[in-house]
Amino acid sequence: MQAVPETADKNDIQANATELPVADRSPAPLDEHKSSDADAAVAAVTDEPVSYRPSGRFFVGIGVGGVVALPLSWLLAHAATLPFFIGVFFFALFGLVIGAVVHRVAAPGRPYTHRVVMTGTVALIAGGWLVSIIVEAQALPMDLARNVPDWTLSLGGLTRSEFVANVAGRIRSHLDERYPPGGTIGYMRWVMTSGVLPKGSIAGVRRTMRLPQRKGWWLMRVVLSIALFSFGISTQTLLLRLRFDPAAVRASDARNH
* CB neighbour list of residue 187: distance below 8 Å, 6 or more residues apart: 136, 137, 140, 175, 179
Tens-digit pLDDT profile for residues 29-87:
444 444 444 444 434 444 455 567 678 999 999 999 999 999 999 999 999 999 889 99
Which stretches of the chain drop beneath a pLDDT of 70?
1-51, 53, 244-254, 256-257
Instruction: Tell me what pLDDT residue 154 has.
Output: 79
Is residue 181 classed as helix, strand or coil in its secondary structure?
coil
For residue 30, count other CB atoms closer than 10 A to its CB: 8
Q: How many CB atoms lie within 10 A of CB 138?
A: 14
Angle at 93 between CA 92 and CA 94, to 5 degrees: 95
Give the integer Cα–Cα distance in Å for 75 and 80. 9
Instruction: State pLDDT tens for residues 202-217.
Output: 988 889 999 999 999 9
Q: Are 233 and 98 in contact (CB under 8 A)?
A: yes
Residue 87: CB partners within 8 Å, gap ≥ 6? Answer: 76, 79, 80, 81, 225
Phi and psi at residue 197, to the nearest 5°: -115, 105
